[in-house]
């Protein structure tokens, strides 16, 4: 046990190398998706033509295809009671080309009382995204009122104001996924959260940019419960069990890039790129990747670059694993682990923070403040250059084989001006890491999916030396 050994290697020299901002570069596309063929509208079982579509009224059956027609200009759309089955989900897709949904207010696309469906923008030949969705206020895409078991993929969600700024017209969050307790006050008084559970949610391969609020807003929050303004008694927001958020590109968000709460079982957040987050610079809403209260699971292989707040902000409940994440140019802390008045912790849980690279943080590089929720393992992390402290802690950490340094040149990054934080030969991070597979068997690859270890030992940080 290494409860006081937070730093293995510390370089005391400080390099004055200037950092080139990368927020205006084209977004990294982690997706392997490629454009397919234009899906013909003749193959659709139903075509949406108006504002509201009720699956029960139009007799939508499991396994059928519902289409948005590229020839129709949509302002808003509400889909309710779209109910497939696990074996035969309903597919909602674009036909005839790229579909535009452009709303003047409130929201653009909303789902209510729906389950077992897929919203896919894959019916295009010359574009990665089959939907282009915008709104001047409210959620761009909202999945609410007891909607569950769904997949959302290949949407472009585009705010009308550059960087999500402006008093009006910027919209709120790109994708909102939650049923708010005030939508059934009596049901959500159940403190066990068994009355209704959202399950099996997959959000992947989307491009979300220039939103006034969060890029993604998943989970209601307030995990300990609270009295909602519209409810007479204390309520408890629902759990999300089975969440996957991956291969998304998020850029230029007014608030957090991705915010996750209440995903308290089987949650994985990975392969996402987040750039230029928190443009409105509103405290506690300007994080790159915010893992809030009531969240367990894995966060890995994410790239978070340039914003006004913390790169990764973490308030999870325990049994959490963070590995292979790259965080650079955070305006505040690179990684901030702190408690929350709404947090509930797993007493015998664990926190594993392995093989992350954190560079050029505006305040502290790595922070972990609380002692709740079980043991905390911090290993093989590479934390380089911070505006204040390289590390600050209030919690007891089992820590070893980390490098914390202000000396950029000694680390030997491949090309920091191009945000390329791979290691060059001679880096002290090579073959200096602990074998963390005994704690987390999933760490058999690095940020680029190359196998690790390659040499005689693990390298420190998110990248294995090629």
- Section 383-394 average pLDDT: 94
Query: d(Cα 253, Cα 274) in Å, to the nearest integer?
Result: 9
Domain assignment present for 374: yes
81 located within any domain? no
Q: Which of 22-26, 235-239, 357-361, 442-446 has the lowest mean pLDDT?
A: 22-26
- In this prediction, residue 290 carries a pLDDT of 98
pLDDT on residue 34: 55
pLDDT-based confidence at 148, cuts 50/70/90? very high
Q: Is residue 258 part of a domain?
A: yes
- pLDDT at residue 11 is higher than 50: no
pLDDT in tens, 102-140: 999 999 999 999 999 999 999 887 789 999 999 999 999
Q: What is the pLDDT of residue 175?
A: 99
**CA separation, residue 390 to residues 145, 379, 385, 404 (Å):** 44, 15, 7, 6
Average pLDDT over residues 309-327: 97
Total domains, the chain: 1
Please tell me the predicted confidence (pLDDT) of residue 166: 87
Phi and psi at 95, nearest 5°, equal -135, 150
Question: pLDDT at residue 27 above 80?
Answer: no
What's the pLDDT at 398? Answer: 93
Q: Is residue 1's pLDDT more than 80?
A: no
Residue 4 lies in a domain: no
Residue 40 lies in a domain: no
| Residue 60 located in a structural domain | no
In this prediction, residue 18 carries a pLDDT of 33
140 assigned to some structural domain: no
Residues 138, 143, 149, CA angle at the centre, nearest 5°? 165
**Mean pLDDT within 350-378:** 95
Contact 461, 381 (CB under 8 A): yes
Q: What value does the mean pLDDT take over residues 72-76? A: 96
Task: Name residues whose C-beta falls within 8 Å of residue 265's C-beta, 6 or more positions apart in sequence.
Answer: 239, 241, 242, 296, 297
**Which residue range forms the structural domain that includes residue 271?**
9-33+154-438
Separation CA 363–CA 459 (nearest Å): 26
Cα–Cα distance between 426 and 442 in angstroms, integer?
27
Q: What's the rounded Cα separation, in Å, for the pair 23 and 204? A: 22
Please check whether residue 289 lies inside any domain of the structure.
yes
Q: Give pLDDT tens digits for 429-440.
A: 999 999 999 998
Q: What letters, b where the CB count within 10 A reaches 16 and e where it falls short, cover 195-211?
A: eeebebbebbbbbbbbb
Q: What is the pLDDT of residue 384?
A: 98
Share the mean pLDDT of the chain.
Answer: 91
């Amino acid at each position: 046990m290494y409860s006081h050994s937070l730093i293995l290697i510390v370089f005391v020299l400080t390099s004055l190398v200037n950092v080139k901002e990368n927020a205006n570069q084209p977004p990294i596309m982690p997706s392997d998706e490629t454009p397919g063929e234009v899906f013909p509208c003749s193959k659709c079982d139903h075509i949406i033509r108006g504002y509201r579509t009720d699956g029960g009224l139009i007799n939508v059956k499991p396994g059928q295809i519902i289409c948005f027609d590229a020839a129709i200009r949509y302002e808003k759309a509400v889909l309710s009671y779209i109910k497939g089955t696990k074996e035969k989900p309903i597919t909602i897709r674009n036909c005839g080309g790229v579909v535009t949904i452009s709303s003047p207010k409130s929201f653009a696309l909303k789902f209510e009382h729906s389950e077992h469906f897929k919203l896919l923008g894959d019916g295009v030949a010359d574009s990665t995204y089959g939907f282009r969705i915008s709104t001047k206020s409210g959620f761009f895409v909202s999945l609410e009122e007891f909607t569950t078991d769904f997949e959302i993929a290949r949407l472009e969600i585009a705010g009308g104001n550059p960087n999500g700024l402006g008093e009006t017209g910027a919209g709120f969050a790109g994708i909102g996924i939650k049923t708010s307790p005030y939508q059934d006050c009596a049901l959500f008084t159940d403190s066990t959260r068994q009355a209704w559970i959202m399950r099996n949610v997959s959000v992947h391969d989307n491009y979300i940019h220039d939103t006034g609020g969060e890029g993604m807003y998943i989970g209601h929050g307030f995990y300990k419960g609270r009295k909602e303004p519209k409810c007479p008694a204390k309520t408890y927001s629902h759990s999300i069990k089975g969440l996957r958020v991956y291969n998304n590109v998020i850029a230029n968000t007014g608030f957090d890039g991705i915010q996750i709460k209440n995903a308290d079982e089987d949650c994985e957040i990975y392969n996402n790129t987040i750039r230029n987050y928190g443009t409105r610079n509103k405290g506690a809403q300007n994080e790159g990747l915010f893992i809030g209260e009531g969240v367990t699971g894995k966060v890995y292989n994410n790239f978070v670059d340039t914003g006004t707040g913390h790169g990764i902000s973490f308030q999870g409940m325990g049994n959490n694993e963070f590995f292979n994440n790259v965080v650079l140019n955070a305006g505040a802390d690179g990684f901030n682990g702190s408690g929350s008045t709404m947090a509930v912790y797993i007493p015998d849980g664990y926190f594993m923070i392995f093989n992350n690279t954190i560079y050029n943080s505006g305040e502290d590089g790595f922070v972990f403040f609380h002692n709740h929720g079980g043991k905390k393992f911090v290993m093989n992390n590479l934390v380089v250059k911070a505006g204040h402290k390289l590390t600050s802690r209030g919690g007891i950490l089992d820590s070893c084989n980390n490098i914390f340094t202000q000396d950029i040149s000694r680390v030997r990054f491949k090309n920091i001006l191009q945000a390329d934080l791979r290691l060059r030969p001679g880096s002290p991070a090579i073959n200096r890491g602990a074998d963390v597979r005994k704690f987390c068997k999933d760490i058999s690859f690095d940020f680029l999916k190359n196998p690790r270890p390659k040499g005689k030992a693990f390298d420190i940080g998110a990248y294995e030396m090629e």
